[in-house]
Amino acid sequence: MEKFLRRFIYAVLVIVILALFVLSGCDHSNNTLNIYNWADYIPQEVIDAFEKEYNCKVVYDTYASNEEMFAKIKSGGSGYDIVFPSGDHVKMMIDGGLLEKLDMSKIPNFQNVNEIVLSKITYDPNHEYSVPYMMGTTGIIVNKKYLQNFDKSWSIYERSDLKDRITLLDDMREVFGAALKYLGYSVNTTNPDEIEKAKQVILKWKENILKFDATTYAQGIVNGEFWAVHGYPENVFQLIPEGDRQNFEFFVPKEGGTLWIDNMVILKDAKNKDLAYKFIDFLLRPDISAQISDFLMIPSPVNGAQEYKTVENIYEVEDLANCEIIDYISKDIDLYNKAWEEIIK
């Protein structure tokens, strides 16, 4: 009996140990990276390569605007590790205590970031909370199959003959930036009179646009539903069929436009910060950044990436000379919020 009991206890212990081993093996929380980013912003091949190299899983959710992202993160408990905010929202997130202060020793490839890009950063000048991901501009994309004659100006939105064939981004600061540059003002003005004048311009443009749109404009311009759209050219040119690129043109209006820098940040309540650091460092490798640059068809901010590129850019850094970065304007953002509510109501 005693011998049987010993065997029974031994068998139970073996089962318990095996069960604990299996259960611990099923806990993938430390090997899963949760990313919140703009749609169509990282090629799947890059995600796959990271998962393979670090034997992990990436969960990738998307948002359509900085405002949507910020509202979700501010509400708390999002479960995300890395987010990709634009410059002004980086500052808002810093001030809101939402971001992890970075340990740059864990991002050795930060040394690869182009000095010109770093010099443009005003929202986190010491790079304590953010790492630049991509830099570029918004502007106007035209489908020349339907629209051959146009002035390279924001005044295209005043053309009543294009009514319901044109769209503006569903992004408050981008749309106001366009109207303010059109009027000769700074995209970061806090002058109530200038913001009011810009609002009146946007209301005039609204009469001709089909909608404010940040999600369907790319497919719409490619399939001919829209003839001219305000947006990110990389989103459009990714969808253009091979051999049809000559029928589409992107331009920065002569009055100027906005300059954006999207950034990689780690949330303070991130569950997997170590893997988040690895991902940021991975994207700053010249060969990986080149893949992203080719996918988006815009310049890479990483030195050495040019050697790996295989796709022509839609525009070059020099085309951004008359563009202005969207800065964080603290409580004065309420001036824009109020005006925007009056526009979209």
One domain, residues 92 and 240: no
Q: At what angle do helices 66-74 and 87-95 cross, to 10 degrees?
A: 20
One domain, residues 112 and 153: no
Q: What is the pLDDT of residue 9?
A: 55
Backbone angles phi, psi at 269, to 5 degrees: -95, 20
> For residue 11, is it within any domain?
no
> For residue 10, is it within any domain?
no
Q: What is the pLDDT of residue 7?
A: 55
One domain, residues 181 and 288: no
> For residue 156, is it within any domain?
yes
Residue with tokens 């109207």: 179
One domain, residues 170 and 74: no
One domain, residues 54 and 120: yes
Q: What is the pLDDT of residue 317?
A: 77
Rounded CA-CA distance 233/301 in Å is 17
Which residue range(s) make up the domain with 246? 137-258+329-344
Q: What is the pLDDT of residue 330?
A: 87
Strand partners, 311: none
Backbone angles phi, psi at 113, to 5 degrees: -70, 135
> For residue 8, is it within any domain?
no
**Residues near 174 by beta carbon (within 8 Å), at least 6 away in sequence:** 138, 230, 258, 326
pLDDT 10s digits, 153-198: 999 999 999 999 999 999 999 999 999 999 999 999 999 999 999 9
Q: Which regions in the chain score pLDDT beneath 70?
A: 1-29
Q: What is the pLDDT of residue 209?
A: 98
> For residue 194, is it within any domain?
yes
* CA distance to 72, 133, 134, 217, 309, per residue, from 41 (Å): 19, 10, 10, 16, 17
Alpha helix segments (H runs only) across 183-323: 192-206, 217-223, 233-237, 273-283, 286-296
Backbone angles phi, psi at 291, to 5 degrees: -60, -40
One domain, residues 242 and 268: no
CA pseudo-torsion sign 124, 78, 330, 341: positive
Q: Around 45, how many Cα atoms within 13 Å sit in the side-chain half-sphere?
A: 9
One domain, residues 191 and 274: no
Q: What is the pLDDT of residue 26?
A: 36
Q: What is the pLDDT of residue 185?
A: 98
Longest C-alpha distance within the chain, in Å?
Answer: 98
CATH number, domain containing residue 202: 3.40.190.10
**Residues, the chain, total?**
345
One domain, residues 107 and 181: no
> For residue 211, is it within any domain?
yes
Q: What is the pLDDT of residue 272?
A: 97
Rounded CA-CA distance 343/133 in Å is 32
One domain, residues 210 and 122: no
Rounded CA-CA distance 106/244 in Å is 43
Contact at 8 Å (CB) between 289 and 302?
A: yes
One domain, residues 117 and 42: yes
One domain, residues 40 and 163: no
Q: Give how many domains the chain has, as a whole number.
A: 2
pTM exceeding 0.95 = no
Paired sense of beta strands 209-212 and 166-168, if any? parallel
One domain, residues 221 and 335: yes
Q: What is the pLDDT of residue 145?
A: 97
